Structure 1
Amino acid sequence: MDGNGSVSHAFDFVIVGSGAGSMCAALALRAAGKRVVVLEKTGLVGGTTALSGGVMWIPANRFMQDAGIDDSAAQAMAYLDAVVGDRADMPAASRERRRTFVEQAPRMLDFLVAQGLKLRRIPSWPDYYDAPGASVPGRAVVSELFDVRQLGEWRAKLRPGFVPLPAHLDEAMQLPLIKRSGAAKKVLLRVLGRAIADKFTGRARRTAGEALQGQLLHAALKAGVDIRLDTAVSELIVDDGRVRGVVAQIDGKPQRLEAALGVLLSAGGFARNQQMLDRHIPGTSAQWSSTIEADTGEVIAAAQRIGGATVQMSERIGMQIAWPPGSEQMKVKAAMQNDICKPHAIVVDRTGVRFARESSSHPEFSERMLERRDTAVPSWMICDSQYLAKYMLAGTMPGRKKPQAWLDAKFLCSGDTIEALAAACEIDGARLRETIERYNGFVDRGRDEDFGRGDSAYDRWVGDPLSASPDTPSNTLGRIEQGPFYAVALYPGDVGTYGGLLTDSHARVLREDGSAIDGLYATGTSAASVMGHAEPGPGGSIGPALTWAYVAAQHALTHE
C-alpha cells in the first residue's frame, strides 16, 4: 500500500500510541542514538495505562531479589505453563513467546531503572491462580509517587489518573479500613501528611498509572523523543514488502512520516469499537469499558489491510462493574472486584443462583458472567446490612447511609426480607432464599463447598484482613442474615481487549501464513496477548506491553 501525502519528516523509528510500551521502546531506541517519533491521536499522553493502577507483572524481578523473595524464570514458566498452557487457538501465547517474555521482562525492568525511573514492588499481591510456580508474595511492580510538576508545560498533556491522593496503591487499599483498623488510620495520616506537604511545597505527586506514565514521559522528553499529539495514523506505508513509515493526519492533512528501522503499533485495542465487539465478543458493550474513548482499533485494521493476522479476538481483560447514577461519564467505571469478595455478600444470576467464585480474579469472574450471559448479564451482588456497615460499595466508604439517588434510581435495591429484595430485583424469592441458606451453611462449616471461595492465597488476600478467626477460617466468608438486604446489578466490563495482531518472539507482526511483515512490530493491546485467555496476576497486560516494546526495539536495532 502506498500512502498518500507529502513527506513530513524522516525518522529511524515511528511509534503509534503513547502508552507505557510506546515510551519504553522510544527510550530504548534513543539510548542507541536513533531518531524516534511517538504519534498520539488524542490530545493527551498516556493512553489507558494512565487511567489504570499502573501495575506490571514481572517475574523474577530485581525488587523480589532485593527483598529475598524466591523466584526464577523456571518457576514463572511452570506457572504460565499451568495457567496459560498450550492451545492451538492461542498462537500468541505459544511456549516460545512465553519463555521470551519471562526472560526479557526483568531485563526490561532493569533498563527502565537505568533510565532513571523509580519503581517498587507491592509488598503483597499474590498471583491470581493457585498453581505450580505461583508467587504468594507476588510479582507486581509499580511506580513510586511522581511529582508531575517536573513535566513543565507537558504536565497539562499527561492524561489524569483515577487516584487524586499521593498514596501508594497498597496504602490506598487500606483506607477503606480506617473505621476498624488502627494501622489504616496511621496510613491515612501518612497520606494526608504528604498531601499537606505537597500543598505547602508546591509539589503535585501522583500515583498508579499516572505516575508510571508521568515518569516515562519525563524520561522520554529528557532523552529527546519527538512526541506529537492529535496525530492519528491512517495508513502504513509499504515499499518492496517492508513497512517504511505511516500516513498520519497532521493539521487536518495526510502526511508521510518515514521510518528507516520500522514502526511499532502500541495504540490500544478495540474495547470502544462496538462493531468489532459485536463481531468478536458478542454480548459486551463499549459503554462498559474502562479504557479511554480512543481505544477503537484503527491501527489493528491498518495492519490487517497490509496482511497482518489477528488472533485471540474473543479474549478480553474483564472487570465486573456497576453503574451508579451519574457515573456515565466516569473515566474508570465502578470496579466491583474488591466488593463482591468480602464477607456477607454473594453474586447470583437472574435466576437467583450462584455461578462462580466471587473471590476469583476480575478477568476470571467476568468470563464466568459471559459464559452464562443469558442469565448472568446483568448479575446481582447480594449483601446484608453487616456488609454496608463494614465495607466499601461501588466507590463509597463503609456505612449504611448511601446516596438517595441510588435508591431513587433503583441502582441499590433493598428489602427488609430476602423475599422483598428478590421482588425488587425480579428474582424468584424461594430460589434466592435457598441460595443464601446454602451459602450460610458453608459459612458455618468454614468452606465454600460449591466454588472453593477463600481456598487460595489470592482469595484470602482480597478478603477482609480483619475478619479471619477460628470461627470463620476464610476471611471471604460471612453469613448474609441481617436485614435490610441489598442488591446491585453487575455487568461484565473490561480494562482492555486481549486479542489483536499476531506477533512472534521478536514482536514482529505476522501474516496468516506465519511469515513476518518486515519493519512492523506490535505490543500492548494492539497485539494478541502472550497470556492467551488468562491474566496470571496483577499487571498481566502492562508488564507484557512494556516487555514486547523493549524486545521490538532491540530487534530493530540489531537488524538495521
Structure 2
Amino acid sequence: MTQQFDETFDWVVVGNGAGSMTSSLQMAQAGKSVVILEKSRWAGGTTAKSGGVIWVPCNRFMQADGEGDTPEAAIAYLDAVTATDPDAPGTSPEKRRAYVDAAPRMIDFLVDQGIPLERAAAYWPDYYDELPGGCKTSRTVTAKLFDTRLLGPWATRLRPGFLPMPVRLEEGMELPYFKRSGRARAIMARVAARTIGAKLRGRNYVSAGAALQGWLLRAILNAGVDLRLESPASELIVEGGRVVGVTSVKDGKPVRIGARLGVLVNAGGFARNQEMRDRYMPGTRAEWSQTNESDTGDLHREMERIGAQLAQMDQMVGYQCTLVPGWEDKFPIPPAQSLTAKPHAILIDRTGQRYMNEGGSYELYCETMLRRDREVPALPGWAIFDSDYIEKYMLAGTMPGRKKPAEWAEAGYLKQAGSIAELAGLIDVDPAALKATVARWNDHCARGADADFHRGEREYDYWLGDTVAEPKQSLGAIARAPFYAVNVVPGDVSTYGGAVIDADARVLRPDGSAIDGLYACGVSTASVMGKVYPGAGASIGPSLTFGWIAARHAMRD
C-alpha cells in the first residue's frame, strides 16, 4: 500500500449486524486483527431488533431430530422459489449452492465458538412448502436466551430487541392460546417460574435477535475484535483498482483506516431513506419500517460510486403492520403477519374486494398490496373479522378477548358494527360489495376450500392460522356479530437489494468482474434469494453465511 493510513487492520468491517460479527469472529479466531465500524450508538444492528431467526437447510439440529433434509432438497426448493429472473442477478445456481453448502458449516463454527444455538421451532414451515424440496417442519435456527450481564459495561450498548424477557420464540408463539390450550398454560407457568428465577438471581434475559447479537457481541469482544460505535465509514479508499481501506471517525476526528485483507460491508439497507425509497420502490413508506434509525443506505451509494453493480433495489422484506393509535412512537409497530391469516378474517382493498391468499410469505403479502394499489385503491387495506376472531386470537399486540384499549375506539382505529353493511359504512366501502365479498368467503369456508386464492392449501397457511384447533385451521367464516375492521399497511423489516456479490461474497461490477478487496453480505447486497423470501430467517441466514464465506476467502486469497 502506498496510501498513508492512521491505522491498519487485517479486516475492516462496516456495520455490526450478524454477518459482521460472524465474519469478525472467523478472522479473530485465525489470529487476524479486526475493527468493526458502526455508525449508530448501538451494537447489534437491525438483527438485534428482529426475531433473530436463521434459515439453514440440513442444519445439525434437524439431523439431531432425525430429519433427513438434504442439500439436493434445499437446492430444489430454492430453484423452485427463485426461478430464473434476469432482473435478479443477486441469485444464481452457483450462489444458491454456495449458501446451501456453507450455511450448515457456519452454524457448526458458531457452536464451536461457544454460541448456544438451537432449533427455533420444530414446526415453522418454509413459506412455499408446497413446492419441490419445501420443508413442512422447520429449517429454522435461533440463539438461546442471553443474559446481558455477561457483557459487563457493554450491556447498555446492546441494541434493545422486541422481546426483553426469558421467553423463547417457540414459547412466545404458543402463549396467546393459553385460554384454549393446556400446553400453552404449561408454557405460561414455565415462563413465569423462569422470570421469577431470573429476577431472584439478578439476571437480565433477552430473547430473539437481541439474544443472537448478545452472544455474538460477547464472543467478538472476548476474541479481541475492536468494535467502534458512533464511527461511520464515509468513504471506501481505492488504490490501483483495489479497496485498501476506509475513511471513518475516531474521537470526533477523521481517520483513515487501512485493510490488509479486505473490507466487508454489512451496513444494512436503505429502509429509513425516503429519498431512496421514492427512487427505487415508489409508494412505500420509511415510517412503516421496523428497521433501525441508521438504516439509510450510505454504503449502497458509496459502493455504487466506486463501480459496484446495485440490483434488486425495488425489493423489500415486506412485513404487514397495523397502525394503532400512537404507532409513530411504538416498536415494533404492531405486526399483522397473521391477523388476516387466522380463521374468521380476510383482507380487502378499499373497494371491498378480497384479492389474495392472506396466508403465506409476508414479503409476498406486502408486494401484492403494493401491486394492487397500482390498480385500485388498496392502501391502507382493511382486515375484516368477527367476534369469533376477537375472542380467540391476538389483535395488534393485545391478548384474545373483547376488552381492548379505550383509545382504539376513541381514535377510530377499531371499527365495530352490528352488521357487515354497517361496518362497510364505517370504512367507506360499498356495502353491497363488502356483503358479497364476505358471503363468498363464508361459502368457501362452508365448502372447506378457498376457490379464489387457495388459502389453506399449504402447511405454512396452517402455521399462520389456528394450530390449537383440531384439525389445524386456516379458514373460518365471518358470521358472528359484532363485526370489526382495522387498517393494514405494507411495512417492512428491511430492504432487499444492494450490491451484487459472487459465491465468495466479493462485490461485482456490472461486467461481472470482482472489485478486489471489497466484500459484502446481508441486506447491503442484492439477496441471494432473488426477489423471494423462502422461509423465516432468509435474510439473517445469508448474512451470517456470506460474512463467514467472505472472511475465509479473504484469508485464502
Asked if TM exceeds 0.5, the reply is yes
Other-structure match for 1:441: 443
**SS of match in other structure, 2:319:** strand
**1:340-359 alignment, distance < 5 Å:** 340-359=340-359
> 2:448 corresponds to which letter in structure 1?
G
> 2:450 corresponds to which letter in structure 1?
D
Q: Distance in 2 between matches of 1:158 and 1:7?
A: 30
Structure 2 counterpart of 1:23, from 21, 24, 46: 21
Q: Distance in 2 between matches of 1:406 and 1:449?
A: 34
List per-residue Cα deviations over 1:271-325 (Å, max 9, x = no partner). 1100110011110000010000111000111111111110011111101111111
Other-structure match for 1:522: 520
> 1:158 corresponds to which letter in structure 2?
L
**1:123-202 alignment, distance < 5 Å:** 123-129=122-128, 130-202=130-202
Q: Does 1:9 align with 2:3?
A: no
Other-structure match for 1:364: 364
- By how many angstroms is 1:397 displaced? 0.6
**1:91-110 alignment, distance < 5 Å:** 91-110=89-108
**SS of match in other structure, 1:520:** strand
**SS of match in other structure, 1:278:** helix
- Residues 164 and 205 of structure 2 are in contact (CA less than 8 Å); yes or no, is this contact kept in structure 1? no
Other-structure match for 2:338: 338
List per-residue Cα deviations over 1:489-511 (Å, max 9, x = no partner). 11100000110001111111111
Structure 1 counterpart of 2:478, from 477, 480, 497: 480
List per-residue Cα deviations over 1:141-186 (Å, max 9, x = no partner). 0001111111000100100110132011000001101111111010
Q: Distance in 2 between matches of 1:37 and 1:93?
A: 29
Other-structure match for 1:544: 542
- Residues 57 and 74 of structure 2 are in contact (CA less than 8 Å); yes or no, is this contact kept in structure 1? yes
Q: Distance in 2 between matches of 1:115 and 1:8?
A: 32
Q: Specify every segment of 5 or more residues in structure 2 that has no aligned partner in the other structure, as ranges.
A: none
Q: Distance in 2 between matches of 1:15 and 1:229?
A: 12
**SS of match in other structure, 1:486:** strand
Other-structure match for 1:253: 253
**SS of match in other structure, 2:188:** helix
- By how many angstroms is 1:87 displaced? 1.4
Other-structure match for 1:62: 60
- By how many angstroms is 1:467 displaced? 2.7
List per-residue Cα deviations over 1:125-150 (Å, max 9, x = no partner). 10010100011111000001111111
The runs of at least 4 consecutive aligned structure 1 residues that moved more than 2 Å come to: 249-253, 466-469
> 1:429 corresponds to which letter in structure 2?
P
List per-residue Cα deviations over 1:467-501 (Å, max 9, x = no partner). 345xxxx6011111111111011110000011000
**1:81-480 alignment, distance < 5 Å:** 81-121=79-119, 122-129=121-128, 130-374=130-374, 375-469=377-471, 475-480=473-478
> 1:452 corresponds to which letter in structure 2?
H
- Residues 48 and 291 of structure 1 are in contact (CA less than 8 Å); yes or no, is this contact kept in structure 2? yes
**SS of match in other structure, 1:357:** coil
> 1:464 corresponds to which letter in structure 2?
D
Q: Distance in 1 between matches of 2:107 and 2:220?
A: 16
Between 214-223 and 330-339, the greater mean CA deviation after superposition: 330-339
**SS of match in other structure, 1:203:** coil
**SS of match in other structure, 1:133:** coil
- Residues 165 and 191 of structure 1 are in contact (CA less than 8 Å); yes or no, is this contact kept in structure 2? no
Q: Distance in 1 between matches of 2:111 and 2:474?
A: 37
**SS of match in other structure, 1:492:** strand
Q: Distance in 2 between matches of 1:488 and 1:342?
A: 14
TM-score by length of 1: 0.97
- Residues 127 and 134 of structure 1 are in contact (CA less than 8 Å); yes or no, is this contact kept in structure 2? yes
- By how many angstroms is 1:250 displaced? 2.5
> 1:321 corresponds to which letter in structure 2?
C
**SS of match in other structure, 1:340:** coil
Q: Distance in 2 between matches of 1:13 and 1:462?
A: 42
List per-residue Cα deviations over 1:300-352 (Å, max 9, x = no partner). 11111111110011111101111111221223221111221111110000010
Question: What is the RMSD computed on CA atoms of the aligned residues?
Answer: 1.2
- Residues 86 and 95 of structure 1 are in contact (CA less than 8 Å); yes or no, is this contact kept in structure 2? no
- Residues 352 and 431 of structure 1 are in contact (CA less than 8 Å); yes or no, is this contact kept in structure 2? yes
Between 81-90 and 6-15, the greater mean CA deviation after superposition: 6-15
**SS of match in other structure, 1:323:** coil
Q: Distance in 2 between matches of 1:555 and 1:395?
A: 44
Q: Distance in 2 between matches of 1:520 and 1:510?
A: 9
List per-residue Cα deviations over 1:223-257 (Å, max 9, x = no partner). 11000000011100111111011001233322101
Q: Does 1:496 align with 2:494?
A: yes
> 1:326 corresponds to which letter in structure 2?
G
Number of equivalent positions? 552
Q: Does 1:507 align with 2:505?
A: yes
Q: Distance in 1 between matches of 2:11 and 2:433?
A: 61
Between 350-359 and 246-255, the greater mean CA deviation after superposition: 246-255
Q: Distance in 2 between matches of 1:506 and 1:101?
A: 10
Q: Distance in 2 between matches of 1:373 and 1:556?
A: 45
> 2:261 corresponds to which letter in structure 1?
L
TM-score by length of 2: 0.98
> 1:433 corresponds to which letter in structure 2?
K
Q: Distance in 1 between matches of 2:233 and 2:327?
A: 31
**1:30-69 alignment, distance < 5 Å:** 30-69=28-67
Q: Specify every segment of 5 or more residues in structure 1 that has no aligned partner in the other structure, as ranges.
A: none
- By how many angstroms is 1:411 displaced? 1.3
Q: Identity rate of aligned residues, in percent?
A: 52
- By how many angstroms is 1:8 displaced? 3.1
